[in-house]
Amino acid sequence: MQNRKPNFIVKLFFTIFLCSQAIVSQADTDQLILADSLFDKRSYKEAMTVYQENYAEGIYSPAMLLKMAFIAEGTNDNENAALYLGKYYDLNPNPQIITKIKALTEQPSLEGYEVSDGARFFLFLTENSELIVLILAGLLLVSLILVLVNVLRSKKSPVYWPSLLLIVLLFLANNFLEQSNYGLITNSPTLILSDPTGAGELVQRVEPGHRVKIKGTKDIWYEVEWKESRAFIKKSNVTRL
């Protein structure tokens, strides 16, 4: 019977560990190196093609987004330049980016770029979610080994609560450390309404460049947070970041 307990605990650990791992897309390093090389040689069109292929697959870095914004602005594609900078802002919020987006969109003021200290801390956690999950998995392994040692050496009931706590933390880190969904208003003009219908009360009429937090969808509408209130915008007027 003593042999079965250790085997069960080991199997339990590996099951939990495998279930806790997120599937993470890995960039084609050779492609990105090639794109950076093309960018350095000012072959911007060719570099942009490679960057856009990776961006479409959800593979990007802050440096890559800045290069894409630079190329887009150089071709007078200010809409996409603002879009890439908006995505960059999600990863690295700073006032210089807001100033640049204002210049690209010719907007004196923009909504949706305020970031609180709590939001910055959550952003830090989401950016390091893989490391956090790895650390928690390692601590869980140590915890289970200690339980195993206690089972083999002592007749007393082992203490399971640290392992259970780590399992809960792993679950939370793996399922809830995700960045909020944001979108950039890209059409002119865009109507922000109180209800998901053309007959809804007009909340505000805005120009491109504003950033909105997307809270849900309903038919052709996005439910968004606008000035700390619930509102709706047609999906065709928003590009998701």
Residue 187 lies in a domain: yes
Tally of CA atoms within 13 A in the half-sphere of 220 that contains its CB: 6
> Dihedral (C-alpha) 64, 56, 172, 19: value to the nearest 10 degrees?
-110
Q: What is the DSSP letter of 229?
A: E
Predicted confidence (pLDDT) at residue 10 exceeds the cutoff of 70: no
Based on the structure, what is the number of domains in the chain?
Answer: 1
Residue 109 lies in a domain: no
The CATH number that applies at residue 225 is 2.30.30.40
Q: What is the pLDDT of residues 78-136, one digit of tens each?
A: 989 999 998 898 888 888 898 999 999 888 888 888 766 666 676 667 767 778 888 88
Residue 201 lies in a domain: yes
- Quote the CA–CA distance of 74 and 126 in Å, as a whole number: 32
Q: 0.75 cut: is pTM over it? A: no
Structural domain range at position 196:
182-240
Residue 83 lies in a domain: no
- How many residues would you count in the chain? 241
What is the side-by-side order of every strand in the sheet holding 229-234? 202-206, 190-193, 229-234, 221-226, 211-218, 182-185, 238-240
Residue 62 lies in a domain: no
Judged on CB neighbours under 10 Å (0-12, 13-18, 19+), 176 is exposed
HEC per residue, 57-70: CCCCCHHHHHHHHH
Q: What is the pLDDT of residues 29-80, one digit of tens each?
A: 778 888 999 999 999 999 999 999 988 888 888 899 999 999 999 999 998 9
Average pLDDT of 190-205?
Answer: 92
Identify any residues that bridge with 224 across adjacent strands, giving them in sequence order. 214, 231
Identity of the amino acid at 87: K
Q: What is the pLDDT of residues 120-178, one digit of tens each?
A: 676 667 767 778 888 888 898 888 888 888 877 876 777 788 888 988 888 888 777 66
Residue 232 lies in a domain: yes
Residue 222 lies in a domain: yes
Residue 124 lies in a domain: no
Judged on CB neighbours under 10 Å (0-12, 13-18, 19+), 148 is middle
- Quote the CA–CA distance of 106 and 94 in Å, as a whole number: 19
